[in-house]
Chain A
Amino acid sequence: MSAEVAYKQVFGWPDSLKKNPTHYCPGCGHSIVHRLVAECLDELGMREKTIGVPPVGCAVLAYNYFNFDMVEAPHGRALAVATGIKRVHPDKLVLTYQGDGDLAAIGTAETIHAANRGERITTIFINNAIYGMTGGQMAPTTVLGMNATTTPGGRDPRLHGNPIDISRMLAVSNGVVYVERCAVSSFKQIRKAKKAIKKAFQCQLDDLGFSIVELLSPCPTNWKMSPKAAWAWVNEEMVKTYPLGVIKDETGYEDKK
């Protein structure tokens, strides 16, 4: 019986995550963020009160991994679908999980307007600066000079336009109360990202408005890098275009250190 006293569980499989192997590539940021979302929902006790909307993108099968109710949305329309859900179930936690093409190219209008309406929804935004699912084409967030399969010789602003900073654009809206940009490319950043995600959910639970956490997320496959080099590229290069930190915080929460 003394074992009960001697052992305390400090790590385990989150309830909010199904025990299915994912299809993500080695070193992919998606699987890290899945885990963080699941841990946060567990800690908030919200798994059974959550409805999620995955993107069309590499995370399209997220309903096979998350252990709560989920409904597919057409490419880019997650926040419109989530709006419909939230209006039917205002007492549930509604989240969208979206890539950069989904959220900031084809779905830009749905993103901006849901945020601007102040929908009580939380968006987890995976910025990997590339179209992962379709094989490495330019994303709206592809940084200047970066090679994508549709930016031969690197992204040139005159030819391909500029990388878009949608999080800062959203921060301008009165409907948006919390915007933070984090990365999942170091242990320290991953811990920070988790805090941000939890805070964004709390913001919804407290009925404050729209919240979004952007996560700079490695795509070793389409960046044609090793996982280790991909982490380094996020930390050294990508952050120059997308500096990390809180972009907007009107939650009024006292951050506990």
Chain B
Amino acid sequence: MPSEKMLMRGSNVVGEAAVRAGCRYYFGYPITPQNELPEYLSARMLDVGGTFIQGESEVASINMVLGASAAGGRVMTSSSSPGISLKQEGISYMAGMELPAVIINMMRGGPGLGNISASAADYYQATRGGGHGDYRTPVLAPAGCQELAELTFVAFDMADKYRSPVMLLGDGLMGQVMEPVIFPDFIDLKDLPKKDWILNGCEGREPRAIFSMLLGQGELYHHNLDLQKKYDQITAEEQRWETKNTDDADIIVVAYGTAARIAESAMNDLRAEGLAIGLFRPITLWPFPSTAFRELAQNGRKVAVFELCLGQMVEDVVLSVGERAEIYFYGVPGGVIPTPAEVADFLRSVAKGDGEVGRRIDV
């Protein structure tokens, strides 16, 4: 049975959802703005007989995740931007070794130590691999507490299905904000699909080795092609998005996560003024929901991209739409959260085509 409606902070929502989704191993290192998540899990794992370790660093934590995953555990780590940078080597190894895990990034302002306010400047890092080598990481972008809960479940299942690390990309605001949430029911660990590749001692079978180093003639070449097949399948089958008011829209705003919440408010205000604005909200950032978006962005509609950074997702919009539509961009960096009124100014400017707010993207 799903839970009662509960009022909870975003970070805690992820923690509770992870436990309900069968996660019994958590390894992480404190960093603001996501500390409530490890704090929550340090207690919650005791209730459910799970493991919580505060690692000595993000590097150590992601490698504990690697080990627990190889051993067959449902495992998660969380951090915020600088810590996610440190995890990249481990994520690349896990991609190469095809090890499932869920990685939470509650993004903050960068580069460097930046600040602890909400930002969306890690889109490139999340969707382009981040670490070294030819690999992709599925990235899910919730836009509120209820979706944080639901996508945490999705992330664990995707990770196991594709034997891949999966990233849940939130931000500092989403981690802090309290919203009502109804949790899906606890899964029964016994119902999870059996993994026939894990390391649990070779009693009654041949020993297994899990590794990413492939030195034999053509081995790495073929491994990369196999990985690509998996990524092609994910691209074909896992694109997720949400649309609002797009049927009659002249302008489609594209925004994800917290930015989508702000854009939605701006859209509603402008609809009251008579401007036909619609919202396209990518939920998977990789794979970017190109197919659906390409359908929408035609018939003279304008595309208005809004991001909490100076323009990263806009590249995927351009890749999806090309020259079919005029594309405009408005972005706010450095952990500054614009008001819906500021985004509305951008959209009015797009409607007029006067270039006063934001900029036209030259394709």
Contact = CB atoms under 8 A, between A and B. Distances in A.
**Interface size class for chain B?**
35 or more
Given A84-B25, A109-B60, A69 B201 contact: yes
Contacts, number: 135
A69 B208 CA distance: 5
Given A68-B207, A72-B210, A81 B56 contact: no
A49 B93 contact: no
Interface string B52-71: 01011101110111111111
A164 interface: no
Nearest to B70: A71
Given A48-B202, A84-B27, A67 B207 contact: yes
A113 B211 contact: no
Contacts of B311: none
Contacts of B208: 69-70
A51 B202 CA distance: 9
A92 interface: yes
Given A48-B203, A60-B213, A84 B64 contact: yes
Interface string B207-228: 1111111000000000000000
Given A53-B67, A84-B71, A85-B68, A69 B199 contact: yes
B268 interface: no
A77 B66 CA distance: 10
A26 interface: no
Interface in A29-51: 47-51
Interface string B36-61: 00000000000000010101110111
Contact of A70 (B61, B64, B69, B209): B209
Nearest to A63: B209
Given A49-B203, A70-B199, A113 B213 contact: no
A74 B90 contact: yes
Contacts of B211: 63, 70-72
A85 B75 CA distance: 11
Q: Say whether chain B's binding surface is mostly helix, strand, loop, or mixed.
A: mixed
Contacts of A72: 93, 97, 209-213
A87 B68 CA distance: 7
A89 B201 CA distance: 9
A80 interface: yes
Given A68-B207, A80-B60, A51 B93 contact: no
Interface in B169-222: 199-204, 207-213
Q: Say whether chain A's binding surface is mostly helix, strand, loop, or mixed.
A: helix
A185 interface: no
Contact of A85 (B53, B60, B61, B70): B70
Contact of B202 (A47, A73, A77): A47
A110 B56 contact: yes
A48 B201 contact: yes
Given A51-B200, A68-B207, A71-B66, 20 more contacts: A48-B204, A49-B201, A49-B203, A60-B213, A70-B199, A70-B208, A71-B67, A72-B93, A73-B67, A81-B63, A84-B70, A84-B75, A86-B67, A87-B64, A88-B25, A88-B67, A89-B71, A109-B56, A109-B60, A112-B56
Interface of B: 25, 27, 51, 53, 55-57, 59-61, 63-73, 75, 89-90, 93, 97, 199-204, 207-213
- For the complex of A and B, list the 3 residue pairs with the smallest distance between their C-beta atoms, beginning with the closest: A84-B67, A84-B68, A80-B63
Interface of A: 47-51, 53, 60-61, 63-64, 66-74, 77, 80-89, 92, 109-110, 112-113, 117
27 contacts: A48-B204, A51-B199, A51-B200, A53-B67, A63-B211, A68-B207, A69-B200, A69-B201, A70-B199, A70-B209, A70-B211, A71-B199, A74-B66, A77-B90, A80-B61, A80-B66, A81-B67, A81-B70, A83-B53, A83-B64, A83-B67, A84-B63, A85-B199, A87-B25, A87-B68, A110-B56, A113-B56
